[in-house]
A = this chain, B = another copy of it.
Amino acid sequence: MPTRKQTSVRKPRSDAQRNRERILEVAKEAFTRSGANTSLDDIARDAGVGPGTLYRHFPTREELLEAVYRTEMEKLASAEQKFAEELPPIEALRAWLLLFVDYIAAKQLIAPALNALVGDPKKVFEASYARIHEALRALVKRAIKSGDIRKDLDPIDLLRALIGVANVATSPDWQQSARRLVDILITGSRPAK
């Protein structure tokens, strides 16, 4: 028996793969530009495929949204390692939180994702959330070990606060607000004494 994975997956056909990526790319731009309610048929057309093809790859709007979102979040999560290697714990944490802010500032990707949230919150976040959470937890863990952060801090709390800031991005200075908030959060997370 070959050691290769034999779990059903027969093979992905090359044109299918191409189309999938094409759709994802167009969708990302469309959602970012016009919000999460953009016509899916339009996205299909812009990607040069029929509606049927789009729906075969992503049966629901939410699934497409999630796929786009997950792809982007993956990039963010992978930045954790770099910071962890280059900076002292507390600074690595701060840097990553700030990157998080910059990232969603540039991409505005949180809005579409949130939109989908209304339908079924868990689905959309489940996968990417886990990945992001893992990255953040690693950073917090190191900062706890070095004594910069108090033991009982739940990393999710920080994450939630930050994601929130992005959503309430009504005023133009929201990004600065987010930066100040990072400081508040870190200060508030220090050991009691």
Contacts and interface: CB of A to CB of B under 8 A. Distances in A.
Contact of A111 (B112, B117, B126): B117
A170 interface: yes
A168 B177 contact: no
A163 interface: yes
B164 A167 contact: yes
Contacts of A187: 187-188
Given A163-B164, A164-B165, A35 B119 contact: yes
Nearest to A111: B118
Interface stretch (A7-15, A39-47, A84-92, A152-160): A152-160
Interface in A174-193: 174, 177-178, 180-181, 183-189
A107 to B, nearest CB: 14
Interface in A20-51: 35-37
Contacts of A98: none
A157 B161 CA distance: 10
Give the top 9 A-B pairs by smallest Cβ distance, nearest first: A164-B164, A188-B188, A184-B188, A161-B161, A35-B118, A187-B188, A160-B168, A160-B165, A157-B181
